Structure 1
Amino acid sequence: MGRNTRKRRMPLATKVMAGTAALALGGGGLVWANFYASAHEKNSGHNRTRAAAAQVATIKCPDVGQKLRNVPRGARAGVDKELARLDQQITEAYARLAATRQAQEGDPGYVQNAILGPLKSKRTAALDRIGTNIRRGGGNAPGGLGRFAGCKGMNADQPDDNGGGQGGGGQTEDPEESQDPAETQDPGEGQDPGDNGNGAAGPVADDFVDITTVEPNGIQGPNGLAANGDTGSTGTFTTACGVNENDLHNSDNLIVAPGVDNGAHHTHDYVGNQDNDAFSSDDDLAAADTSCQNQGDKSTYYWPVLRLQDGTAEFDAGDLGGGAEGNVGTILKAQQAEIKFVGNKQGDVVAMPKFLRVITGDAKAFTNGLANANTAWSCTGFEDRQLTDKYPLCPDDSQVVRTANFQSCWDGQNIDSANHRDHVAFVQADGSCPSGFQAIPQLQVRLVYDVPTPTVENGQVQNPYAVDGFPEQLHKPITDHNDFINVMDEDLMNEVVRCVNSGEDCE
C-alpha cells in the first residue's frame, strides 16, 4: 500500500559542498561540523563562555514566506518555488560556513565578505523574481522586499520571543534586518570550538534536561493551547492510522513547497494518505490508499522523523534531506501515534473543509524566534512537565513524548493562505476564536518513542537523539512541527463533528 522514498539525485556542486563540510561518522552517513560549545565548558585552560556567546554558529535570515500576505493564486506556484530557492541558498551558505572555519579564524571579515555578502546578492535576485511573479499574477508586490535580503551570523543561544503570540497564526512583520559586523565575526583566539562528542551540528548538551528536575507546568507549547475542556463541545474522535509501518518517507513538503523536490530539507514520517510528495494534487490525495483503519480518512498526517545519532547509515544517508544535509543516524519509529480530534470549550464546532491545510510549529523557530513555535516534549509518567526548548532525558522506565495541539479556528473561507498560516488560528486563552474565525475540531497528535537515554558528561552529550530539520537550525528541539491535510470524506467529517458536539468518545 505504501512506498519508500524515491532516491534523491545530488547535484555535483552540492556533492562537493557537502563532502567538504561534512565528516564521516561511525558506520556511515554524513554529519555537519558543529561550531559551538556549552557556554560553561573549559578547554586547555581557556574559558569558553565568551567564545560560545560570540561564535557564529549559524545563519539567520528573514523568513520571507511569513511576510507575504496577498499572493494571487495564479502566482503562488512561482512564488513557492522562489521561496524554496531561498531555503536552498541558506543551506548552501551554511555549508560554506561549516567548511571554512580555518579561514574564518585568520580573517575576522571572512563570514561577512565570503558568505553573507554573496548570499545577500542571491537573495536579492530571488526576491526580485518573487515580486515579478506577484505582478504577473495580477497582484501588487509588497514594497521594499529587498530589505529582507540581508542575513547575519547567529550564535548558539536559544531564540528570543519575537513578539510570539496566538493571533491569527501569522508572524508579525520584523523590522529591516541590519548588518552588524560584530555579529558576523568569529572570536578566533585559537580556541577549539569542539563538537560535544558527536561531530554533528547539534544537538548539544545544553539542548537536554533531566525531566525529573523539571517542575510540573502543564504547558502544551508556546501557542498550542488545548481547545477542549469540560464545557462546550466535549466529545472526541480518534482515528487509528498506524506509526508509518509502510516506511513512507520523503523530504518534500506538499503544503509549503508544492512542486519542489526536497522542499523540506529534512525527512518526514507519513501516516494516513499514501500519496504524499511535493507533486501530489488534491485529486491524487483523494484517490490514494490510506493507512487509517477507517478508510474514509485519507487525510495526510506528517512530522519530521526523530533520529538517534548513532552512526547508522539509513536509506537516506547520502541524500539531500538526509545525511547530505546533516540529518543522520537511525530513524526512530514511534511506538504509538495517537491522532485525536477534540472540541471547543466555548461551544460547538463546524466541519473542516476538505483539503484544509494546517501547519503547527515552525521548522525555522531557532532563527525565526517563537512567534509560530509550538513544541511540547515530555516523558511518559511526567506529562504534567512539558518542555518547549529542551529535549527530555527520561528515566529508564519512561518514553519520550512529542505532543502537538493544532490551530482550531478557521476563517470560514480558505483551505490555505499565502503564508500557509493566516487562514487558521489558535484559540484564545478563554477558548474562543479570534473575530471572524469559527471553531473546528482540534487535531491533537501524541507520539511516543522508545529512545535510549543519552548521557551528558563534562558538557558533552553522547548518542543524542534529535528531530530532523533544516541544516542551519542546528537540530534544536524548538523547531519541531507537525502538518495535516484534511482528506476525510464528507460522511466521516460529519461523524467527527457529531461526536465532538454531542460529547461522545468515538473511534
Structure 2
Amino acid sequence: MTRTGGRHQISSRTKIASIGAAVAIAAGAVVVVTATSDDQASADGVDISNFVDITTVQPNVKQVKKQGNASRGTFTVDCGVNENEHFNGDNFIAAPGVENGAEHLHDYVGNLSTNANSTNESLQAAGTTCKNGDKSTYFWPVIRIDTADEEENEVDAAAAQAQDQQAAADANARKKGRPQLVCPDIASKLDEVPDEAQADVDKALEEVDKVTEEAEQKLPAAVDANAVDAQVVNPLLEKRKAILDRMTLALGRPGRQPIDFGALSRCSVKPPGQPSPIGDGSENGDKPPVEADPGNEPDENQELPGNDGEIQQPLKAELTFRGSPVGKVTAMPKFLKILYGDAKISINGTKNARDSWTCEGFEDKVQLAKYVICPEGKKVKRIHDFPSCWDGKNTDSANHRTHIVFPDAATGKCAEGFKAVPQLRTTLTYDIPRDIQVKGQYKVDSFPNEDHNPVSDHDDFANVMSQKIMNRLVNCVNKGKTCKE
C-alpha cells in the first residue's frame, strides 16, 4: 500500500467484512467486532460511559483574576478548517522522520507541507492556508462519526496521492546536501513597540527575513568555510546590521537606552547532516526518513487500524493568541514547538492530559475529559489552551514539554526562570447530530491502545510566523486590542 500523506480527500467510511461479525460483551457494554478484509479486527464506536450530558455537570471552569498590568488583547489567525484536506498519520515533533508515527490521522491548517519529514527549512519554504501569511503548523487528531454502516467509497484519492508523493520527492531532492543558515531570533528580543515606531519596526523585520532567505538560497551544496564567509555570511551580516541599526534608532526613546539590535546581525552556517543544538530550533537536523509499516498506513478512505469512520470537518477552527493575566508577554521564538494534552495516557498517565470537551454556550462554564452530549441545536466543541511559560532559551526539549510549561493555575504566574509568551487557544466547533451524540457514535482518532479515550485528545503547534507577524501579535496582545487577520 502506498503512503498517503499531504493533501487528501475526505471519504465516507468503507469497511468490507470478510468473515462476518461477532458480538462480545465487555465491561457491561456491547462491542461489535468486525473482521475486515485484511484480517484486522476493530471495535466500532466508543464505550458509552465516555459520554456525558453536559447539562448534568456543575460549572468547573475557573478563571484567573487579571491584574492591573495584564496583557488583555487577543490576536486571531484565520487559517481555514482544512478545506484543502491535508491529512496524515505523522507527527514531526513527537516522532520526526517516522511515517505514520502517530498511528492516527491529523487535521492540518496553516503550513501546507507538514508531514513526518518536515524540518524548519521545509516549513519555511512552504505555502500556508493562513490569510495573513502565517506559515505556522497547527494540527490535531480528526473527529469521526462511526455508525458501523457499510457505505460506498465516494472518492478516489489516487491522483492526489501521486501529486503529494511527487511533491515530497521534489522537496527531498532540493533539500538533500544543502547547508542551512542559523540566525539569531529578533522578535523575541523586542520590548513593547511604541505606536510611532511600529511601521519602521515592521518594515525592518520584513527586510531582515527577506535578505536572510535570499542569502540561504546562495549557499552552495558543499560548504567551503572561507568561500561561504566571503560570499554569503559577511555580506548578509552587513545587510542585517544596517537594517537592525535603523530599527534600533527607530525604537530610541528619551531617557531610555535602546537595545543594540545590530548585535543580532551575524548568522552561522550549519553543514548538511550536522545536528544543531536543541535551543536553535533545528533539532531534527537532516535525519533520513524512517519507513513505516505499509500495512499500518492510512488507506484510500483515510482509515487506519482502529481508526475508522467518516471524518468530520470542523465548522470553525479558531486560532487565538491571548495574553498573561499578570503582565506583558514576550514574542515566541521562531520554530518554537508546543504540545497540548497527551496522546498516550495509557502509558504516561494523565498528568499532561487536559479537559478539552464542551458545548456551544458552555465554553466558560464546563470543560470535560469526556465526550459531551449537548442540548438540542448546540454544537460540540474542543478547546485546547497551550502552555505559555517559555524558558527563554530552547525551542524544543527532549520530552517536548520542559522548555514551555503552564503558568500556575491559581495565580497565572510563570515559574522562576520562565517568561510569558502569547498563549495559543485552539477552539474547534463541530456539527455532530444530537442522535449521534446520544448514541455515542462520534470519537477522536487515537493510538490503538487508547481506544478513542476522550482524555487522550491533544494538539500540536510549531511557530513559523515571520518576525513581522509575531511582533504585530505581541503588540496587539500587550496593548489590549482585539486583532483578527
The bucket for the TM-score relative to the shorter chain is 0.5 to 0.7
Matching residue's letter, 1:300: T
SS of residue paired to 2:43: coil
Residues 33, 200 of structure 1: 8 Å contact kept? no
> Distance in 1 between the 2:114 and 2:140 partners?
12
Matching residue's letter, 1:496: L
Residues 202, 476 of structure 1: 8 Å contact kept? no
Matching residue's letter, 1:416: D
Unaligned 5+ segments in structure 2 are 32-37, 158-294
Match of 1:493 among 464, 470, 475: 470
SS of residue paired to 1:494: helix
Matched, 1:235 2:78: no
Q: CA deviation at 1:391?
A: 0.3
Matching residue's letter, 1:400: V
| Deviation per residue, 1:322-372 (Å, 9 max, x gap) | 534211111000001111001001111111000000011001124432111
SS of residue paired to 1:358: strand
**Structure showing greater relative contact order (alpha-carbon pairs closer than 8 Å, 6 or more residues apart):** 2
- TM-score (norm. length: structure 1): 0.59
Residues 141-152 of structure 1 mapped to structure 2, 5 A cutoff: none
Residues 376, 386 of structure 1: 8 Å contact kept? no
In structure 2, what is the equivalent of residue 259 of structure 1?
97
Matched, 1:341 2:330: no
Residues 106, 141 of structure 2: 8 Å contact kept? yes
Residues 390, 405 of structure 2: 8 Å contact kept? yes
Matched, 1:393 2:373: yes
In structure 1, what is the equivalent of residue 142 of structure 2?
305
In structure 2, what is the equivalent of residue 158 of structure 1?
none
Residues 98-247 of structure 1 mapped to structure 2, 5 A cutoff: 200=43, 202-218=45-61, 231-247=69-85
Matching residue's letter, 1:278: A
Matched, 1:37 2:26: yes
In structure 1, what is the equivalent of residue 361 of structure 2?
381
Q: CA deviation at 1:263?
A: 0.6
> Distance in 2 between the 1:227 and 1:471 partners?
40
SS of residue paired to 1:323: coil
Residues 35, 201 of structure 1: 8 Å contact kept? no
How many aligned residue pairs are there? 327
> Distance in 1 between the 2:23 and 2:449 partners?
11
Residues 342, 457 of structure 2: 8 Å contact kept? yes
Matching residue's letter, 1:487: V
> Distance in 2 between the 1:30 and 1:495 partners?
54
Matching residue's letter, 1:395: P
> Distance in 1 between the 2:88 and 2:303 partners?
13
Residues 46, 452 of structure 2: 8 Å contact kept? yes
> Distance in 2 between the 1:265 and 1:335 partners?
25
Match of 1:472 among 442, 449, 461: 449
Q: 1:299 to 1:209 in 2, by over 3 A?
A: same
In structure 2, what is the equivalent of residue 484 of structure 1?
461
Q: 1:33 to 1:453 in 2, by over 3 A?
A: farther
| Deviation per residue, 1:374-401 (Å, 9 max, x gap) | 2321111222443432100112210000
> Distance in 2 between the 1:425 and 1:33 partners?
46
Q: CA deviation at 1:231?
A: 4.9
| Deviation per residue, 1:51-70 (Å, 9 max, x gap) | x9xxxxxxxxxxxxxxxxxx
SS of residue paired to 2:318: strand
Q: CA deviation at 1:319?
A: 5.7
SS of residue paired to 2:382: strand
Q: CA deviation at 1:33?
A: 8.7
In structure 1, what is the equivalent of residue 345 of structure 2?
365
In structure 2, what is the equivalent of residue 450 of structure 1?
431
> Distance in 1 between the 2:17 and 2:368 partners?
28
In structure 1, what is the equivalent of residue 213 of structure 2?
none
Residues 104, 304 of structure 2: 8 Å contact kept? no
> Distance in 2 between the 1:412 and 1:340 partners?
22
SS of residue paired to 2:26: coil
SS of residue paired to 1:307: strand
Q: CA deviation at 1:239?
A: 0.6
- TM-score (norm. length: structure 2): 0.61
> Distance in 1 between the 2:322 and 2:347 partners?
32
Match of 1:28 among 7, 10, 15: 15
Matched, 1:329 2:172: no
| Deviation per residue, 1:200-220 (Å, 9 max, x gap) | 26511101011121222225x
Matching residue's letter, 1:250: N
Q: 1:298 to 1:372 in 2, by over 3 A?
A: same
Q: Which moved more, 1:201-210 or 1:414-423?
A: 201-210
| Percent pairwise identity | 46
> Distance in 1 between the 2:332 and 2:375 partners?
40
Matching residue's letter, 2:446: G
Residues 399, 448 of structure 1: 8 Å contact kept? yes
In structure 2, what is the equivalent of residue 5 of structure 1?
5
Q: CA deviation at 1:27?
A: 4.5
Matched, 1:410 2:390: yes
Cα RMSD (Å): 3.3
Residues 276, 300 of structure 1: 8 Å contact kept? yes
| Deviation per residue, 1:97-124 (Å, 9 max, x gap) | x97xxxxxxxxxxxxxxxxxxxxxxxxx
> Distance in 1 between the 2:125 and 2:13 partners?
42
Q: 1:500 to 1:450 in 2, by over 3 A?
A: same
> Distance in 2 between the 1:280 and 1:30 partners?
37
Matching residue's letter, 1:265: E
Q: CA deviation at 1:29?
A: 6.4
Residues 358, 368 of structure 2: 8 Å contact kept? no
Residues 202, 474 of structure 1: 8 Å contact kept? no
Q: 1:294 to 1:206 in 2, by over 3 A?
A: same
In structure 2, what is the equivalent of residue 185 of structure 1?
none
SS of residue paired to 1:492: helix
Residues 71, 326 of structure 2: 8 Å contact kept? yes
> Distance in 1 between the 2:80 and 2:139 partners?
12
Match of 1:420 among 400, 420, 423: 400
Residues 272, 298 of structure 1: 8 Å contact kept? yes
In structure 2, what is the equivalent of residue 170 of structure 1?
none
Matching residue's letter, 1:474: D
In structure 1, what is the equivalent of residue 260 of structure 2?
none
> Distance in 2 between the 1:418 and 1:255 partners?
10
